[in-house]
Amino acid sequence: MKISNRISEVPHYVFARLEHYKKELIRNNIEIIDLSIGDPDIKTPQFIVDELINSLRIKDFYKYPPYSGAVELKKSIANFYKRHFDVDLDYENEVGILIGAKEGIAHLIMALTDPGDYCIVPDPGYPVYFYASIIAGCIPYKIYLQREKDYIPNIYGIHNEVVRKAKILIVNYPNNPTGACGNLDFYSELIDFGIKNDIVIVNDAAYINLVSDKKYKNSILQVEGAKKIAVEIGSLSKSYNMTGWRIGYIVGNKEIIKRLSVIKSNIDSGQFLPIQLAASKAIDYGDYFISYINNVYEERRKIVNSMLKQNNFDIYDSKGTFYVWFKVPKGYSSEEFCEIVLDKAQVMITPGNAFGDMGEGFCRISLTLPADVLKPAVERILKVI
């Protein structure tokens, strides 16, 4: 069988591998507490579910949605950006609808690059950036994020030849896996860098609403001139606990969004219309829920951080997301520590090297289980070390 070599460098998605391992343990009647994947435990708010049900009664609900996305949802996103960031968006041209942020990132790379181009990606970072670049035929160039610099990259240290050949630079704030947050000074530098070097700047802002304090809630589009070169990708998965609904958006430069729509219209046919209408309702009326889950995650973070710190674990002071990022004890690699925790404590956490070379020596705990489960899970971990 003649097949492409394109995916020879692409392993199975790390969380798919973890899920497979988890199922194997469950088959052997081993009860696992899973703190590895960022899949919220709190249900989607009922008013969003009700809107989905109501939308199933509208005429022609079952037909193809508009390729550019439901107008109702695009307007809601534009209103959200005005309400939260004082950013004006033309909903017709500066807002696009995605089948989740993950899909949007992968297709955006295809839309903006040619084989052999450089795609600048963060390390540690969401694995999709690196592997989607490879699948698109690009050369992923890693910019290393260091804890000492609060996981903000030194964009001026990028090799000149890479800058010349790169077409896209991806950042992710609030950051997965570290929980670091970007700020407007850094975003301003990014925009200047992008304009000067004709490199598209993409901020994956899937966790934009999950911050410990509103001062850490920033959009790259708040920077003057950002729309000339930048887009921001958002998701309803984490903000409204809609991971399985698969709905997200892209906002910013209209030419970039137009190019992405060419790819998407030839590959997918958009998300189910009732889901888009329910998402519109979520964005319009869900600000209270965002405040609620931020409070929940902050309480959970305090519990986990306190327990780990009391046992001399070195924890990064995260300001965003619902993850705890910490150094593994001396003498262990990331994977070795996770294996011991899984085998002896029956708790699954994510090794930092799953997110790149700079993640080695760290692990990530997801706060997406109730406090009465998190506490005994951490107690189990501490007993085996």
Task: Output the pLDDT for position 4.
Answer: 73
Assess whether pLDDT exceeds 80 at residue 196. Answer: yes
- Which residue matches tokens 């708010």? 45
Assess whether pLDDT exceeds 90 at residue 315. Answer: yes
Number of neighbouring beta carbons within 10 Å of residue 237: 22
| Higher pLDDT pick, 262 / 26 | 262
Task: Output the pLDDT for position 100.
Answer: 97
Task: Output the pLDDT for position 17.
Answer: 66
Among 2-11, 148-157, 213-222, whose mean pLDDT is lowest? 2-11
Q: Give the model's confidence band at 12: pLDDT under 50 very low, under 70 low, under 90 confident, else very high.
A: low
**Percent of the chain clearing pLDDT 90 (strictly above):** 90
**pLDDT digits over 137-190, tens only?**
999 999 999 999 999 999 999 999 999 999 999 999 999 999 999 999 999 999
Q: Give the model's confidence band at 28: pLDDT under 50 very low, under 70 low, under 90 confident, else very high.
A: confident
Superfamily of domain 6-44+288-383: Aspartate Aminotransferase, domain 1 (3.90.1150.10)
Instruction: Provide the whole-model pTM.
Output: 0.94
- Residue range 100-114: average pLDDT? 97
Assess whether pLDDT exceeds 60 at residue 13. Answer: no
Hey, do 6-44+288-383 and 63-285 end up sharing a CATH topology, with the first three levels equal?
no
- Residue range 88-117: average pLDDT? 97
**In the chain, where the domains are located:** 6-44+288-383, 63-285
Assess whether pLDDT exceeds 80 at residue 107. Answer: yes
Assess whether pLDDT exceeds 60 at residue 347. Answer: yes
Task: Output the pLDDT for position 15.
Answer: 62
Mean pLDDT (the chain) is 95
Task: Output the pLDDT for position 18.
Answer: 67
**pLDDT digits over 230-259, tens only?**
999 999 999 999 999 999 999 999 999 999
| Higher pLDDT pick, 385 / 279 | 279
| Higher pLDDT pick, 320 / 339 | 320
Using CA atoms, how far apart are residues 166 and 144, in angstroms rounded to an integer? 16
Q: Give the model's confidence band at 49: pLDDT under 50 very low, under 70 low, under 90 confident, else very high.
A: very high
Q: What is the CATH architecture of 63-285?
A: 3-Layer(aba) Sandwich (3.40)
Task: Output the pLDDT for position 242.
Answer: 98
Task: Output the pLDDT for position 164.
Answer: 96
Assess whether pLDDT exceeds 90 at residue 27. Answer: no
Q: Give the model's confidence band at 26: pLDDT under 50 very low, under 70 low, under 90 confident, else very high.
A: confident
Q: Give the model's confidence band at 111: pLDDT under 50 very low, under 70 low, under 90 confident, else very high.
A: very high
Residue 147: Cβ-neighbour burial (10 angstroms; 0-12, 13-18, 19+): middle
Residue 142: Cβ-neighbour burial (10 angstroms; 0-12, 13-18, 19+): middle
